[in-house]
Amino acid sequence: MSSQATPTLRLTGIGASPGVAVGHAFILDRKRIRTPKLRLADAEVEPERMRMKTAIDLSDRQLAELKDQITRTEGSDHALILEAHRLMLHDPMLVDEVNRLIVEDRINAEWAVRRTARKIKHLFDNIPDEYFRERRSDVDYVADRIIRNLMGQVVDEDVEVPAEAIVVAHDLPPADAAMMARSGRVAGFVTDLGGQTSHTAIVARARETPAVVGAGRASEQISPGDLVAMDGTRGVVLVNPTEDQLALFREEQRRYLESEQLALATKDQPAVSTDGFRIRLNGNMEFLEEIPSLLAHGAEGIGLYRTEFMFLDRKTAPTEEEHYRAYKQVLEAMGGRPVTIRTLDLGGDKVPGKTKHEKEPNPAMGLRAIRYCLSNRELFRVQLRALLRASVHGNLRLMFPLICGVSELREARTELEACRTALGRAGVPVGKRFPVGIMVETPSAATIADRLAQEADFFSIGTNDLIQYSLAIDRQNREVAYLYRPLHLSVLRMLQGIVDAAKSANIPVSMCGEMAGDPLFTLVLLALGFDELSMTSGQIPVVKRLMRRVSRSEAVEMLQGAMELTTAEEIERFVRTEMDRRFSGQEGSLLSPMHDPEPEPV
């Protein structure tokens, strides 16, 4: 279809995997099927229950075969997602409720499955953590599989994707995303649903395939064969772009590929300013298969290893052995580089085996993270024992999330030392003592950073929570999300105070939130004096190249000028102008356009 034959359509979503791609749309029709709704006669109830059991058994066999196939080709990480789906098939919350509806409400199995899935999904609405909220889609994947099997429809249909296609879908099951990304024929993904932690996003980042998720009604608005230009960093999709727009995307694509090639060539060079200030650039991760990409892009270590994925769709908590194996694999894969593992950032509403679902009035500020672990000591001790055992296999650093005061840090460290002593008495090998730090992500921790620095071995600033708590806004709330301003003067002053407290106590200070990997903020963070920054693999090369082309004294001068201003808008405008002045024609196009003061209308 000619790019000038039809008007250009601009769609915006979430940039889930960096990169620029241009190709023709391949529409994958995986939309939910229409669910038949029937009333049963008394004599039909028992046969309907048996029909449901047969569909579950068939679904289980299909998932087992898919798991084996993906394990052979992709490794075990994505296969774990399919194993979680198998567990969901047999979860009493699903099976018992479906059978109850069949018996008591006299409705057919398809209708009962859909109603039950809707009920289970509502339980996820109270979860503040984006990763766990995204697991609502897993409920749909499992329910759709059961319903298709009940209706005798094809479930796992092989799809032949044309070369260099942009795959457009309402949503993608993890098996589809993994197999298509592996084929090497997919130029990019665009989905209606999803977020940064959806399966499509995770698979795309691991395979370094550009992806835009959460793009609304993209699968309805894009037609098969449409020319699509997409930017997986900005979350922008142009359908049937003009020649001028296409030329801009092609140039951006060329620059991105050039940046990737430079990343491979310079991955072993340090991030050091022209006047010698050195910052370690680390990677954020949650799946083992992300490590090759991180190392290829120059990660010097792991600055944030999220461990909550092990609790995904489980009825029971992971065993100590499961924890140990996961940490051992990552430590060995990093070959002596530092690996910072965050203890569980769970909440009472996202723990396996919990049968009572009480809706917390404000879950983001409720019983979560270190608070939950200290209230559930055995769950905490299982992880701590596994971490101590795994520490013999690499360079481990441990950090506790959501620390609000010194007493929490002391309690957590006491538990760690008690576990160390118990393992020693039992003759279990444990590595040498490793650094124990904290996530600084609450205003209270920031305010008493000088006291916390006396008892923590390092700080790691989680800006996602710190900013939203400090500015009293919910980033997930569209009505107030525009108020989320990393360059708000109060945020800058808070960051400066945390860094100064760390420096005074002679402990390292790092940042692992989204702010760390945004090129717009690179000189601000260089000026503040961070020792380490941690980000996704695709962000490392750009941040490194910016740092290597400027002096820290220049960055400090820029920050001083910014902090003389008052409003967040003034500071953002000043910083962007200064960045453009220094890097225009070099890295200008790679500065995050999400901060454009006047974005194009949608």
User: Which are the catalytic amino acids?
Assistant: 199, 512
d(CA 444, CA 462): 13
| 498: three-class secondary structure by DSSP | helix
- Residue 107, beta-bridge partner list: 39
Q: Are 305 and 269 in contact (CB under 8 A)?
A: no
DSSP state of 433: -
In this structure, what token pair is assigned to residue 264?
């491979």
Backbone angles phi, psi at 85, to 5 degrees: -65, -35
Integer Cα distance of 499 and 504 in angstroms: 9
How far CA 30 is from CA of 24, 173, 585, in Å, comes to 19, 9, 42
In sequence order, which residues have a C-beta less than 8 Å from that of residue 220 and are 6 or more positions away? Answer: 192
Dihedral angle computed from the Cα positions of residues 88, 90, 93 and 94, in that order, rounded to the nearest 10 degrees: 80
Q: How many CB atoms lie within 10 A of CB 435?
A: 16
Beta-sheet pairing, 165-169 with 278-285: unpaired
Task: Please state, in angstroms and rounded to a whole number, the distance separating the CA atoms of residues 344 and 453.
Answer: 22
Q: How many residues does the chain have?
A: 602
Contact present, 13 and 215 (Cβ < 8 Å): yes
Beta-sheet strands, E only, within 185-295? 186-191, 211-213, 227-231, 236-239, 271-272, 278-285
Rg value, the chain, Cα: 25
Decide: helix, strand or coil at residue 396. Answer: strand
SS3 454: coil
Q: At 357, list the tokens.
A: 């679902």
b (16+ CB within 10 A) / e for 572-594: bbbbbebbeebbeeebebbbbbe
Q: How far apart are CA 547 and CA 300, in angstroms?
A: 15
The closest of 62, 4, 56, 540 to 301, measured between CA atoms, is: 540
Helix axis angle for 76-89 and 136-150, nearest 10°, is 60
Contact 558, 523 (CB under 8 A): yes
* Whole-Å CA distances, 46 to 49, 102, 110, 133: 5, 9, 15, 35
| Token pair of 530 as six digits | 């961070």
The 10 Å Cβ neighbour count of residue 168 is 29
Which stretch of DSSP H or E encloses residue 525?
helix 522-528
DSSP assignments along 494-538, one per residue: HHHHHHHHHHHTT--EEE-SGGGG-GGGHHHHHHHT-SEEEE-GG
Helices and strands (H, E) in the chain, number of each type = 23, 17
